[in-house]
Structures are given as structure tokens and as C-alpha cells.
Amino acid sequence: ETGVTQTPRHLVMGMTNKKSLKCEQHLGHNAMYWYKQSAKKPLELMFVYSLEERVENNSVPSRFSPECPNSSHLFLHLHTLQPEDSALYLCASSQTGTGGYTFGSGTRLTVV
Amino acid sequence: GNSVTQMEGPVTLSEEAFLTINCTYTATGYPSLFWYVQYPGEGLQLLLKATKADDKGSNKGFEATYRKETTSFHLEKGSVQVSDSAVYFCALSDGTGANSKLTFGKGITLSVRP
């Protein structure tokens, strides 16, 4: 148990579907992150939330929509995705100023 | 901006061999440095860290020393095991303010043969 829980672990969705990824942390951290990990590519930082406010959005397409209702929960809402969006989506949390992140196990997303 | 450069992979070793994975960085100020490991089908786990120059991080037989003069944080292990097969990421954090974030290297895959 890493302290950061992601659900679901695996998701297959069609290009016209709407789905959401969920992340929950039990560590009392005040920052949360979404990363995308694609085969043979570096980790891509997508979104950063600090104290429940989005502080970074790295030119992510609008078909990805994050939501952070409180400091323990983070969602990634997915709508009309493309096959190239298939990847492992990783959530992480941290206490700002300490540098170290705790990652969840990820959601393996396949868009068909 | 900050950046992390890792040696090209993959790396394949026999069990009990010595491991070195190179990592160099570019950063302003005094970053903290990290090694993360990702086992198959899992997320990233913090392996070790160092927060200032000459600090040595260590865990599970792995070590890395923060070398400011060479801007490096090479990962070493004296005797690798099959269970060490994973992807290893070097990372840095400027560690300051509310917007501090990790910058990752590309990662390197280590395979250990029995």
C-alpha cells in the first residue's frame, strides 16, 4: 500500500465514451499531480494541483479535464479520446517543499 | 530550465554483477536529487534521495552520491539480483515554494539474468 490509490487499474474505452480516473491519497499531502507514461517516451507532467488549486497545465488537450475537489482526491475526466492517448496514467502526491513524490500504481488506459 | 540526463539503455546484467547507472543534471540553485524505480505493471517508487551536496542516499543495497562539482547522481549497487529488474528514473526537484516539481530523466530499463 503506497498511500496513493488509483482506480481503476485498467480501463478500455471507445473514442466516444466519457470516463473518469480517480486518485486518492491518505498521506496528508497538499499537492497532487497527473502524469502520462507512454511507451518509449519520457514521463509527461500533465497537471499540478497545490492546495486544491491548479497551478500547472502543460498544454494538455481539452479532452482531458482534471478536478481536485479536496486535498485528498484528484480526478481526470476523459472525453472523446484518441488512440494515441492510450498510456499509463500516474497520479502522485507530495508535501510542497519536500520534493519527494508518492506515486500510485497507475491506470492502464486503452482507447479503441 | 532544469533537466536530467540518463545514460541510454537498456542494461542487461548477470546476477551478482556490479551496477552503475549514470545520471547528470542541469539546475539553478540547489536541487534535491532522487532515484525512483518502477517494477513491471506498477507505479514509481522512491528508491533513495539526497538533498545537498556530498549527501549519499542508500536503500536496498543501492547507493548514489550527490556530486555538485560534476552535477551527477550516479546509481550503484555492488551485486544485483533478478528482483532488481525494473525501470530506473533519476529526478530532481528545485524543492522551493508551492510550485516545486520533479523533473525526470527518460528512465533506463535494467534486466538481470539468473
Q: State mean pLDDT over B8-30.
A: 93
Tens-digit pLDDT profile for residues B34-62: 999 999 888 899 999 999 999 999 999 99
Q: Does the CB of A111 have a partner CB in chain B at under 8 Å?
A: no
At residue B22, the pLDDT reads 97
Q: What percent of chain B has pLDDT over 70?
A: 95
CB distance A103–B43 less than 8 Å?
yes
**Which B residues 23-82 touch A at CB under 8 Å?**
32, 34, 36, 41-46, 49, 51
CB distance B43–A48 less than 8 Å?
no
In whole angstroms, give the CA distance from residue B99 to residue B107.
23
Q: Kind of pairing, strands A53-57 and A44-50? A: antiparallel
Residue A88's closest chain B neighbor by CA?
A: B43
In whole angstroms, give the CA distance from residue B70 to residue A9.
40
In whole angstroms, give the CA distance from residue B91 to residue A48.
17
Q: Does the CB of A75 have a partner CB in chain B at under 8 Å?
A: no
Closest CA relative to residue B62, chosen from B44, B45, B80? B80
Closest CA relative to residue A75, chosen from A101, A55, A52? A52
CB distance A100–B100 less than 8 Å?
no
What parts of chain A have a pLDDT lower than 50? 1
CB distance A90–B44 less than 8 Å?
yes
Other beta carbons within 10 angstroms of residue A101's beta carbon come to 26
Tens-digit pLDDT profile for residues A54-71: 777 778 999 999 999 998
Q: Angle at the Cα of A57 (from B88 to B35), degrees rounded to 5? A: 15
Closest CA relative to residue B21, chosen from B55, B48, B53? B48
